[in-house]
Amino acid sequence: MTALAPLTALIAAVAASVPTVAASPAAVPLSAEYTLPFVGPGTYLIFGIVLAPVYAMVAAWFLGDPSDRFAGLLGVGYLAGLTTVLWGSLFVATLIIGAVFF
């Protein structure tokens, strides 16, 4: 008998007593937890916390001193344009991937 035999027996006993998640029928829910599409914890994280500096920047364009309405609207236009181009190109890429591979 080796010195590691008690430790091996303890590890085997603990492993046997831990239920496996994959065998549990509750591991795969039958219905989605979120009813709205694209709304989950990541959506609130991105739009609430990650984009907070962008919200502060846009607010500072209009509320800060000195404020220039034309420059602020130009900046908002640039942000909206870049966002539209990024989301639009990702949408087109998704359609192409779906048509080619699925």
pLDDT (tens digit per residue) in 43-60: 888 888 999 999 999 999
What distance lies between CA 44 and its chain's CA centroid?
9
Euclidean distance between CA atoms 58 and 55, whole angstroms: 5
pLDDT bin (cut points 50, 70, 90) of residue 78 is: very high
Euclidean distance between CA atoms 15 and 9, whole angstroms: 10
Residue 82 within any structural domain of the chain: yes
Nearest of 58, 38, 41 to residue 49 by alpha carbon:
41
Q: Domain containing 67: what range?
A: 33-101
What distance lies between CA 8 and its chain's CA centroid?
40
Q: How many domains does the chain have?
A: 1
Residue 61 within any structural domain of the chain: yes
Residue 25 within any structural domain of the chain: no
Does residue 13 surpass a pLDDT of 80?
Answer: no
pTM: 0.53
- Which pLDDT value is given to residue 87? 94
Residue 19 within any structural domain of the chain: no
